[in-house]
């Protein structure tokens, strides 16, 4: 078994085995770049180390010894010799870059003997003792577990005694004294001596780097970034070069382009006469890389050349570590550089224009996360420091405003021109006017599908919900968090993308559709086959969606149109009606409101399809909660008021269901109260007719929710066709190419899709409900209670409400799509629901051969890119499979 590879033996493809750093060191060595020689101990050795109870096996030891021998020959030095001492660094290097999360030790091979040798050989005792004290400190910390602060205190004391400010002013004798102090410190804290045996130093250092894979900050980092725990880290043993040997030496970090703007110019920092971590540690203020051009023009030119070569080689912006020893440049690390959203796009587009990348490669580089950052208002991160609490990231975007603790206050303050954040324990439909007038919503209870979350997402407003650390005191009008109190009227800022609640007003950055993004979307359109529609419930959102590239509306949730206060009152009257006459009266008032909404949507989406879903939620969602009504009843004075409240309480009780999610909702509502659906259908066709009068091309699609049996769709389709005929007349009806389809969100509908397709022009997979009903989870309960446990305990790979469960729910989708199409070849199929905006789910939809996905307006560019990525990857896989077939 091979556990160790020299840098000359590896390459960039061996990343899983050699880690990112090791693979790239090998790749650079092969490319002839000036990399100090060394070798890599594999990630497999790390895994074996943990399996053997944190022990390095004899076989691995032997291979390390052999590689070290080779290194000695290459360098013409000897590890542990005082005449020609070989010094090495022991560097961690995981597969996925985890900057600064694990440990590295420099200058291994120094002891009381070899340090003298190094001093004599270099004729520079100050340098030799500087290296030695650094080794003892790093070793003491990483291997022997002594807090760095103990060493720093001793260093501070020394500098005070010497009356100097900076490390580089400390003379050789000073370092000698410090080395004595450090050794005593190690003996006192660790109960053993700093090892003088250099081979012992090396093995202990390798063990410590392996072990650092499980240090707490590395574990947290992995969890946050979804890096598997069992990957392990490789260890690189590399011969030292010295940036701290004198004033013709130095060390630095350079990005081949600017990581925050993308500008094609070297960006970075360096320090003269310094080693390794000095640049990042902040002990000394480094110089901007541009200054190097004047200081060492030759080195700067070489560095530029290295940057160009590495960028061309890796076809990406690189983050490079370098060291200069006695006027000679060495490269110590390269990796693809971290960058922000705008820089990512600018760099990718520039690389295509420069001929380094092709369009498809550039598209594959785009991360969904980056687009999310670009397309929502976001925080100026530097100012976002005073985090009060973190809740659920329910609706992305950032907002700042003064806290208002009820909807009326929020609305009133907003009318005065103030920016407000509505803060509630939870919201109900009665709070909608407050939500409408607020910049964002914060609740202390409720999950990702709580009322506040759904409404805020629908309106594109930032929302943080379920923030249980907050105690909202409606009596004292304040919010308590830990030992802090925020009074109503004080400024707070929300970050709906991360769930952070921040004290004070944090400056915001606006969402932007940049030229680079437009360019990328155009390239995406050239390759993708999946269409991208928007979920939008009002003309404004439809306009935004269209600007972002939506090809239609895939889901318009009509219930959202009833939430404005004046409409909610009419809706409540409709629900409260005791007689059909009363109900008809209320419906007549709702009709023109809906008609105006639909006309606005049709106009905004002129020439593109607009799928309108008839009323879906159970009716009780439009009424206040019993508790609130009872409270109002206690405070009510007039008899008529009291009677009205009592009536409403009775009605709420009447509508109560043990399990509303499985109760009288969706098409069941339409079957029991056809007059509600009929009003909505009438409004759709009246709006269509209005638009046709104005010469606007309309393509209405009427979507029936929650169908489980073909007879439901059959009955409601008849209602649609009859109403269309009644409203438009036979001739006009023919001129209006409307479609009738259904949501597929009940497993039975998926299983009997062949029957259902007889009456459906399209299937829209409502993957939220389909996931709930396939798993038998109610989303709110699952997310509020057990789902986190399931995901942490790896019982489920993801939250199935965010990433489509392709194995289970996906089977139902594939089955329904294919049996539907076998009955009706022209059947249009797509996914609406949150999965429509998730990258992995979009890739599934592409492979399943669906026609479209539909997602929130702000996620459309991301979905377009994801659709293109799916097409490119799928195509590439098909080519590989075809090549295999040819070969066999």
| Cβ-based neighbours of 663, under 8 Å, separated by 6 or more | 618, 657
Q: How far is the C-alpha of 705 from the C-alpha of 744, rounded, in Å?
A: 8
Instruction: Locate all alpha helices (DSSP H) within 382-443, ordered by sequence.
Output: 407-415, 432-437
- Give yes or no for residue 106 binding ligand ADP (CB under 6 A): yes
Please, which residue, 430 or 769, has the CB nearer to Mg ion?
Answer: 769
Kindly state whether residue 423 participates in binding ligand ADP, applying the rule CB under 6 A: no
Q: Is 704 left (phi over 0), alpha (psi -120 to 50) or beta?
A: beta
Residue number with the shortest CB distance to Mg ion? 769
Q: Which stretch binds ligand ADP (CB under 6 A): 98-106, 504-512, 631-639, 834-842?
A: 98-106
Per rule CB under 6 A, is residue 277 in the interface with ligand ADP?
yes
Q: Does 100 bind ligand ADP (CB under 6 A)?
A: yes
**Nearest-angstrom CA–CA distance, 160 and 137:** 19
Three-state DSSP state, 76: coil
Question: Which element (helix H / strand E) includes 6?
Answer: strand 4-6
Binding partner of residue 323 among ligand ADP, Mg ion, none, CB cut-off 5 to 8 Å per kind: ligand ADP
Looking at the Cβ atoms of 271 and 368, the one nearer to ligand ADP is: 271
- CA 185 – CA 181 distance, rounded (Å): 6
Q: Of the candidates 555, 597, 551, which has an alpha carbon nearest to the alpha carbon of residue 457?
A: 555
Site string for ligand ADP, 579-608 (x = CB under 6 A): ------------------------------
> Which of Mg ion, ligand ADP, none has residue 89 at its interface (CB below 5 to 8 Å by kind)?
ligand ADP
Per CB under 5 A, which of residues 692..751 are in contact with Mg ion? 745
Look-up: residue for tokens 């490669």?
361
Among candidate residues 765, 793, 697, 767, the one with its CA nearest the CA of residue 737: 697
Smallest gap, in angstroms, from Cβ of residue 197 to ligand ADP?
21
Our finding on whether 488 is near Mg ion (CB under 5 A) is no
Other beta carbons less than 10 A from residue 274's beta carbon: 23
Which is closer to ligand ADP, CB of 321 or CB of 701?
321
Answer yes or no: are the C-beta atoms of 207 and 17 closer than 8 Å: no
The yes or no reply on residue 198 touching ligand ADP (CB under 6 A) is no
Binder among 40, 104, 493, 680 for ligand ADP (CB under 6 A)? 104
- Residue 60 tokens, joined: 């691995």
Structure tokens that stand for 452 in this block: 């506040």
Using the rule CB under 6 A, is 107 a contact of ligand ADP? no
Q: Are strands 508-509 and 378-379 parallel, antiparallel or unpaired?
A: antiparallel
Strand partners, 321: 253, 333
In order, the DSSP letters of 540-598 are HHHHHHHHTT--SEEEEEGGGGG-SHHHHHHHHHHHH-SSHHHHHHHHHHHHHHHHHHH
Nearest CB to ligand ADP, comparing residues 189 and 214:
214
Residue 346 binding partner per list Mg ion, ligand ADP, none, with a CB distance cut-off of 5 to 8 Å that depends on partner kind: none
Q: Which of residues 218-257 bind ligand ADP (CB under 6 A)?
A: 238, 240-241
- Among residues 376, 433, 451, 846, the one annotated as catalytic is 451
3-state helix, strand, coil in the chain (%, to 5): 50, 15, 30
- 174 binding ligand ADP? (CB under 6 A): no
Write down how long the chain is. Answer: 888
Please report whether residue 286 would count as binding ligand ADP according to CB under 6 A: no
For residue 497, report the phi and psi dihedrals to the nearest 5 degrees.
Answer: -85, -30
* Closest approach of Mg ion to the CB of residue 769, in Å: 4
Q: How far is the CB of 68 from Mg ion (least distance, A)?
A: 22
Write the interaction track for Mg ion spanning residues 323-352; mark x where CB under 5 A is met and - where it is not.
Answer: ----------x-------------------
| Residues 372, 379: Cα–Cα separation, whole Å | 13
Please say whether the beta carbons of 448 and 424 come within 8 A.
Answer: no
Q: Which does residue 688 bind out of ligand ADP, Mg ion, none, counting CB within 5 to 8 angstroms by kind?
A: none
Q: Tell the residue number behind the tokens 């389909």, with chain if given.
A: 770
Residue selected from 158, 332, 870, 871 as contacting ligand ADP according to rule CB under 6 A: 332
Distances (CA, A) of 839 to 287, 450, 811, 843: 41, 24, 18, 6
Rank residues 44 and 277 by Cβ distance to ligand ADP and give the closer one. 277
Residue 665 binding result from Mg ion, ligand ADP, none, given CB thresholds of 5 to 8 Å by partner type: none
Q: Which does 769 bind (CB under 5 to 8 A by kind): ligand ADP, Mg ion, none?
A: Mg ion
Return the number of the residue (102 or 556) whose C-beta is nearest ligand ADP.
Answer: 102
- Considering only residues 296 to 325 of the shown chain, the ones binding ligand ADP according to CB under 6 A are 321, 323
Contacted entry of ligand ADP, Mg ion, none for residue 244, CB cut-off 5 to 8 Å set by kind: none
Q: What is the DSSP letter of 770?
A: H
Query: Rounded distance, CA 341 to CA 262, Å?
Result: 9
Which among 411, 336, 326, 320 is positioned nearest to 122, based on CA atoms?
326
Q: Name the strand (E) or helix (H) holding 676.
A: helix 674-693
Q: Does 787 sit near ligand ADP (CB under 6 A)?
A: no
Q: Which residues pair with 250 in a beta bridge?
A: 272, 324
Check: CB of residue 541 under 8 Å from CB of residue 461.
no
Q: Choose among 827, 712, 713, 807: nearest CA to 759.
A: 713
Q: Which CB atom, from 93 or from 810, has the smaller least distance to ligand ADP? A: 93
Residues 36-55 that bind ligand ADP (CB under 6 A): 36
160: number of Cβ within 10 Å:
9
Structure tokens at 348: 């990718």
560 as an active site residue: the answer is: no
Closest to ligand ADP by CB, 92 vs 774, is 92
Alpha helices in 422-473 (DSSP H): 432-437, 451-459
215 contact partners, CB below 8 Å, separation of at least 6: 101, 102, 103
Question: In the complex, what is the shortest distance from the CB of residue 333 to Mg ion, in angstroms, rounded to a whole number?
Answer: 5
Give me the phi and psi of 328, to 5 degrees please: -115, 135
**Which single residue brings its beta carbon nearest to ligand ADP?**
276
Residue 241: name its binding partner from ligand ADP, Mg ion, none (Cβ under 5 to 8 Å by kind): ligand ADP
3-state secondary structure of 444: coil
331 vs 492, beta carbon nearer Mg ion: 331
Count the site residues for ligand ADP by CB under 6 A.
15
- Looking at beta carbons only, is 289 or 465 nearer to ligand ADP? 289
Is residue 335 near ligand ADP by the rule CB under 6 A? no
Mask of contacts with Mg ion, 742-771, x by CB under 5 A?
---x--------------------x--x--
The answer to whether 208 contacts ligand ADP (rule: CB under 6 A) is no
Q: For ligand ADP, which is the closer residue by CB, 36 or 429?
A: 36
Phi, psi for 122 (deg, rounded to 5): -90, -5
Q: State the nearest-atom distance from the C-beta of 33 to ligand ADP, in Å.
A: 14
Q: Which of residues 56-95 bind ligand ADP (CB under 6 A)?
A: 89, 91
Which one of the listed residues 465, 691, 736, 832 is annotated catalytic?
832
* Catalytic residue list contains 46: no
Closest to Mg ion by CB, 102 vs 544, is: 102
**Residues near Mg ion, by CB under 5 A:** 333, 745, 766, 769
Q: Known catalytic residues?
A: 451, 832
Binding site for ligand ADP (CB under 6 A): 36, 89, 91, 100, 104, 106, 238, 240-241, 276-277, 321, 323, 332-333
């Amino acid at each position: 078994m091979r556990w160790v590879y020299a840098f000359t033996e590896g390459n960039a493809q061996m990343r899983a085995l050699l880690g990112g750093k090791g693979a790239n060191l090998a790749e650079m060595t092969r490319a002839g770049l000036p990399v100090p020689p060394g070798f890599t101990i594999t990630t497999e050795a790390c895994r074996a180390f943990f399996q053997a109870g944190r022990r390095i096996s004899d076989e691995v030891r032997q291979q390390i010894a052999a590689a070290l021998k080779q290194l000695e020959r290459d360098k013409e030095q000897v590890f542990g010799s005082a005449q020609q001492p070989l010094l090495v660094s022991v560097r961690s290097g995981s597969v996925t870059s985890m900057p600064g999360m694990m440990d590295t030790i420099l200058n291994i091979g120094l002891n009381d003997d070899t340090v003298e040798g190094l001093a004599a050989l270099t004729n520079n005792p100050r340098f030799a003792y500087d290296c030695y004290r650094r080794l003892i400190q790093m070793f003491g910390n990483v291997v022997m577990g002594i807090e760095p602060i103990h060493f720093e205190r001793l260093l501070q004391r020394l500098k005070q005694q010497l009356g100097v400010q900076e490390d580089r002013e400390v003379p050789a004798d000073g370092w000698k004294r410090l080395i004595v102090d450090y050794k005593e410190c190690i003996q006192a804290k660790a109960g053993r001596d700093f090892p003088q045996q250099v081979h012992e130093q090396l093995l202990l250092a390798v063990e410590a780097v392996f072990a650092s894979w499980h240090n707490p900050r590395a574990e947290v980092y992995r969890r946050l970034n979804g890096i598997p725990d069992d990957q392990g880290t490789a260890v690189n043993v590399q011969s030292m070069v010295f940036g701290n040997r004198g004033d013709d030496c130095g060390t630095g970090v350079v990005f081949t382009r600017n990581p925050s703007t993308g500008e094609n110019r070297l960006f970075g920092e360096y320090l003269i006469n310094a080693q390794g971590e000095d640049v990042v540690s902040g002990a000394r203020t480094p110089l901007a890389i541009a200054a190097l051009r004047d200081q060492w023009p030759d080195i700067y030119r070489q560095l530029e050349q290295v940057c160009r070569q590495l960028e061309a080689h890796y076809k990406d912006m690189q983050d490079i570590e370098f060291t200069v020893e006695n006027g000679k440049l060495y490269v110590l690390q390269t990796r693809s550089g971290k960058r922000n959203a705008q820089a990512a796009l600018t760099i990718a587009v520039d690389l295509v224009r420069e001929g380094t990348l092709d369009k498809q490669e550039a598209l594959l580089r785009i991360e969904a996360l980056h687009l999310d950052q670009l397309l929502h208002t976001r925080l100026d991160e530097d100012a976002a420091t005073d985090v009060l609490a973190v809740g659920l990231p329910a609706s992305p975007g950032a907002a700042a405003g003064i806290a208002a603790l009820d909807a009326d206050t929020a609305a009133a303050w907003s009318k005065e021109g103030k920016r407000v954040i509505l803060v509630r324990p939870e919201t109900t439909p009665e709070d909608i006017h407050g939500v409408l007038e607020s910049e964002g919503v914060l609740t202390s209870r409720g999950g990702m599908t709580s009322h506040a979350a759904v409404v805020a997402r629908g309106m594109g407003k930032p929302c943080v919900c379920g923030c249980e650390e907050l105690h909202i005191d409606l009596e004292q009008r304040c919010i308590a968090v830990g030992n802090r109190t925020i009074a109503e009227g004080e400024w707070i800022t929300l970050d709906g993308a991360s769930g952070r609640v921040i004290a004070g007003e944090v400056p915001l950055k606006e969402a932007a559709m940049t030229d680079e993004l437009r360019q990328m979307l155009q390239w995406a359109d050239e390759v993708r086959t999946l269409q991208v529609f928007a979920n939008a419930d009002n003309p404004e959102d439809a306009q935004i969606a269209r600007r972002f590239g939506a090809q239609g509306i895939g889901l318009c949730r009509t219930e959202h149109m009833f939430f404005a206060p004046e409409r909610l009152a009419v809706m409540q009257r409709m629900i409260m009606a005791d007689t059909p006459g009363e109900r008809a009266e209320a419906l007549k008032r709702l009709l023109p409101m809906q008609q105006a909404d639909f006309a606005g949507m049709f106009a905004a989406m002129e020439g593109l399809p607009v799928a309108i879903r008839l009323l879906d939620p159970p009716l009780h969602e439009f009424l206040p909660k019993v508790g609130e009504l009872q409270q109002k009843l206690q405070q009510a004075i007039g008899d008529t008021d009291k009677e009205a409240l009592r009536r409403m309480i009775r009605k709420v009780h009447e509508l109560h269901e043990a399990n509303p999610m499985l109760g009288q909702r969706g098409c069941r509502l339409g079957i029991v109260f056809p007059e509600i659906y009929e009003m909505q259908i009438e409004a759709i066709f009246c709006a269509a007719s209005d638009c046709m009068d104005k010469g606007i091309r309309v393509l209405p699609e009427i979507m029936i929710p929650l169908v489980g049996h073909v007879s439901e769709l059959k009955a409601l389709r008849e209602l649609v066709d009859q109403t269309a005929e009644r409203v438009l007349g036979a001739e006009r009806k023919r001129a209006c190419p409307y479609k009738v389809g259904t949501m597929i969100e009940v497993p039975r509908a998926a299983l009997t899709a062949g029957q259902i397709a007889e009456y459906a022009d399209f299937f829209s997979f409502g993957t939220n409900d389909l996931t709930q009903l396939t798993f038998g989870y109610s989303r709110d309960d699952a997310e509020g209670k057990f789902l986190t446990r399931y995901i942490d305990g790896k019982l489920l790979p993801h939250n199935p409400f965010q990433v489509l469960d392709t194995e289970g729910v996906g089977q139902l989708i594939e089955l329904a799509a294919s049996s539907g199409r076998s009955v009706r070849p022209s059947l249009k199929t797509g996914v609406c629901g949150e999965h429509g905006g998730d990258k992995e789910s979009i890739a599934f939809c592409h492979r399943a051969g669906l026609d479209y996905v539909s997602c929130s307006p702000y996620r459309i560019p991301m979905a377009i890119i994801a659709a293109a990525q799916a097409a490119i990857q799928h195509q590439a896989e098909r080519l590989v499979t075809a090549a295999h077939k040819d070969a066999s």
